[in-house]
């Protein structure tokens, strides 16, 4: 279980950092599933980008450094909230394929939070 949680933390932590950075640079020619980024307001880009970068780092760094490792669970819960809010945003736009992805990622974040709180907590 410990290795599974670490694999998920590293994979999703990296993913969220990269997507968070994308919110700040929004390159031209994004693939169709990410074209919604062009419609976000600058404020939403800043808030969601910062939340995703900080959450992604929070999934990895506390466990690696052994400094406040309980923050890993809080980072996962924060990213769960981001995914639920993203689902609501995509729902109002009728982008149902994105909702499924958001809910799956939210479920993984819930699993990481529970896993690091109850199943295999990281120690300082």
65 burial via Cβ count (<10 Å: 0-12, 13-18, 19+): exposed
pLDDT at position 124 over 90:
no
pLDDT at position 32 over 90:
no
In a domain, 82, yes or no: yes
How many domains, in total, are found in the chain?
Answer: 1
In a domain, 109, yes or no: yes
Expressed as residue numbers, the domain containing 67 is 2-27+41-119
Place of tokens 């939403």: 44
In a domain, 76, yes or no: yes
Task: Provide mean pLDDT across the span 71-80.
Answer: 98
In a domain, 32, yes or no: no
pLDDT value for 34: 86
In a domain, 34, yes or no: no
Distances in Å between the Cα of 80 and the Cα atoms of 39, 67, 103, 110 are 22, 22, 9, 6
């Amino acid at each position: 279980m410990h290795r599974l949680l670490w694999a998920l933390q590293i994979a999703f932590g990296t993913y969220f950092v990269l997507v968070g950075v994308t919110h700040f640079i929004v390159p031209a020619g994004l693939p169709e599933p990410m074209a919604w980024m062009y419609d976000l307001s600058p404020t939403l880009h800043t808030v969601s980008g910062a939340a995703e970068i900080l959450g992604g780092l929070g999934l990895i760094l506390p466990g690696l450094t052994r400094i406040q490792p309980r923050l890993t669970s809080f980072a996962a819960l924060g990213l769960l909230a981001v995914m639920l809010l993203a689902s609501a945003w995509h729902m109002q736009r009728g982008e149902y394929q994105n909702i499924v992805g958001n809910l799956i990622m939210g479920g993984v974040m819930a699993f990481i939070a529970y896993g690091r709180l109850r199943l295999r907590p990281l120690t300082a």
